[in-house]
């Protein structure tokens, strides 16, 4: 798989994910409640990889595991960058991190530097979870998608 195909596959993953994530999240939140937002994200990660696997099946079959691994790692790296950027755009991210810390450690006081460290760890945990899920769900989705449309 050439780098141009690899870049196009990852860009298509991003576009498809963006187009299906919100409708899936909305359906699950309305049906099951706000906690089900994550279910929509997980499903969108898998389905976008499944679709891209079907579209790029011909290029993927040339060197299947290697091509899938390259697409998956580049996609996970892209999501890692987003995971670092997203908390800065969400006004209540820091408040949520503090609230969660204080719920588990009542009566604890932290300095500003310690709060920053805690929020950074919280963001790292978010990044770890997102990248781990992207690696697993995208690898499986690309593998299954490319298997559904075997080249002739």
Residue 49 has pLDDT above 80, yes or no: yes
Average pLDDT over residues 32-52: 92
Q: Which residue range forms the structural domain that includes residue 52? A: 3-148
Residue 65 has pLDDT above 90, yes or no: no
Which residue in this structure is represented by tokens 């870049």?
7
What does the alpha-carbon distance between residue 149 and residue 151 come to, in Å, rounded to a whole number?
A: 6
Average pLDDT of the chain is 90
As given in the structure block, the two tokens for residue 136 are 């697993």
pLDDT band at 10 (very low <50, low <70, confident <90, very high): very high
The CA–CA distances, whole Å, from 18 to 8, 11, 15, 24 equal 15, 11, 5, 11
What does the alpha-carbon distance between residue 84 and residue 77 come to, in Å, rounded to a whole number?
A: 11
Q: How many domains does the chain have?
A: 1
> Which of 7-16, 20-29, 95-104 shows the lowest mean pLDDT across its residues?
95-104
Of 93 and 49, the structure prediction assigns the larger pLDDT to 49
Q: Which of 58, 79, 77 is nearest to 5 (CA)?
A: 58
Q: Which of 46, 6, 35 is nearest to 134 (CA)?
A: 46
pLDDT band at 151 (very low <50, low <70, confident <90, very high): low
> Which of 4-18, 35-49, 88-102, 114-128 shows the lowest mean pLDDT across its residues?
88-102
Could you report the per-residue pLDDT of 76-124, keeping only the tens digit for each?
Answer: 999 999 888 888 778 888 888 888 888 888 888 889 899 889 888 988 9
Residue 39 has pLDDT above 80, yes or no: yes
Give percent above pLDDT 70 in the chain. 99
Residue 24 has pLDDT above 80, yes or no: yes
């Amino acid at each position: 798989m050439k780098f141009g195909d690899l870049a196009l596959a990852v860009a298509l993953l991003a576009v498809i994910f963006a187009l299906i994530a919100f409708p899936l999240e909305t359906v699950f939140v309305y049906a099951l409640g706000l906690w089900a937002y994550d279910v929509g994200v997980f499903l969108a990660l898998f389905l976008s990889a499944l679709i891209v696997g079907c579209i790029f099946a011909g290029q993927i079959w040339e060197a299947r595991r290697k091509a899938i691994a390259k697409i998956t790692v580049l996609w996970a790296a892209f999501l890692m960058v987003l995971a670092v950027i997203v908390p800065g755009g969400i006004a209540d991210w820091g408040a949520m991190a503090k609230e969660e810390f204080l719920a588990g450690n009542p009566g604890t006081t932290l300095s500003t530097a310690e709060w920053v460290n805690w929020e950074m760890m919280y963001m790292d945990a978010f990044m770890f979870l997102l990248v781990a899920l992207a690696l697993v769900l995208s690898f499986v989705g690309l593998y299954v998608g490319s298997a559904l449309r075997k080249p002739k």
